Each structure stands twice: as structure tokens, then as C-alpha cells.
Amino acid sequence: MTPQHNLENLKKSAALKAVEFVRDGMVVGLGTGSTAKHLVIALGEMVRAGMKLRGVPTSQETAALAKQSGIPLIDTENRWEIDVAIDGADQVDPGFNLIKGGGGALLKEKIVAASAKQFIVLVDHTKQVPALGGAYPLPIEVIPFGWGSTAREIEALTKSRVVLRERNGAPFKTEAGNMIVDVHLARIDQPRDLEIALNQIPGIVETGLFVGRTNVLIVGTPQGVQIQYAPRI
């Protein structure tokens, strides 16, 4: 097992490689989480060195760090044209499909990823898995009204254990005021089919499955940074 401080170095190396995809004048979607934090700090250094760019943050946490780093932000209630969105992931399979949402920002993260001309994902090598699921649950954002019934529908569909996410003994609330349930699936062999089926359940706002969205995968490994491009369909 790779020590945590070494993993942080691998995340940082992936983030530093990702900023090479950012050009002067771009609008950049800024992800949330430990890997994206390294990205925002690196972009801030580029802005202070004279680069012109604007950011669309995927969480209040990222917005605060971006402002602290000197990155101008776009009003998130307006329509934007995002050149590139860069974010981390909790898991990535060989088909570049992801599980995201460990930090609870999956709704904004997916909106930004879907709006971007290019979506770049940063991970350390431990996030690569043969299939999604297993040790990492699938987060699903649900509205509070009737959430128990929504969870029951998810259980019936997936035949898996569904757990309400809590923080400090109370239900975790997203920035949109919703709840998150974590679905413990042994293995997700058909992520696209599962995403489609889950989205048919009333009460589900969004799932942490990011299917067919990744254009570039940047992996920090002990042997160096690897860049992989999604095959064009």
C-alpha cells in the first residue's frame, strides 16, 4: 500500500501535468476534492504569472480556494462556455467511467463536466480499478422528501445495501440542500445501463456515475505521470 504522503505527491504530479492543457483566455471548470485542490493552487500560480483565465467552481470549498489563489470566477448562475473542466475521481474503470461524489459535490461536478468542451480527470494509480464498485460505494443525491422510499426503490433495483450519509450524527446535506445515499454494490459491470435505470427513479437528483464523459485521464504513478486519451466513438 502506498503511504498517504506519497499519494498526495502523486496527486500533485497529476495536477501539474493537467495545467499544461490550460491555455491563456480559457474558462476552466474547477473540480472539488484533494486532487483538484492541487490543480487550483497551480492555476493560481499561473494567474499570478500573467495568464488570463476564469474559473467555474464546483463547490463553495473550491470557490474559496480559487479566490484565495487569485483566480477570477464566473457567476455560476449565468450560462457559461467552459473550455476544459478538470476534476478528480474516486474510482475509474478501464473504459474511463467514474465514480465521483465522495466529497458530496457530484451534482455541480457533473453539470460542469457536461458543459465543458473537454473533461480531464486526475487520479493517483490507486483509483484505477478493473470494475467500479466493490470497496467504494456509489453516491446518489436524493431530495429529502420521501428519501426513505427513494432508497427502497434503489435497493430493489440494485439488490444492494443503501446507507444514508451522515456527518456529525446528522444527515449530510449537499450545497443544494439534498441528501446523499451511498449504495454498496459488489461490482458495476454495466455502468451506463445502471445510470439510465437509476435516473428513472423519482427523487433521485443525480448519481455519482460519470459514464462516457472523460476525454483525458491523467494518472500519477510511482513510475511517473501517465496520460491516457479516451477512444473516439
Positions annotated as catalytic residues are 109
**Amino acid identity for residue 11 in this structure:** K
Whole-angstrom distance, CA of residue 210 vs CA of residue 157? 19
Taking CB atoms within 8 Å and a gap of at least 24, the contacts of 221-226 are: 221/10, 221/124, 221/125, 222/2, 222/6, 222/10, 222/125, 224/13, 225/13, 225/14, 225/17
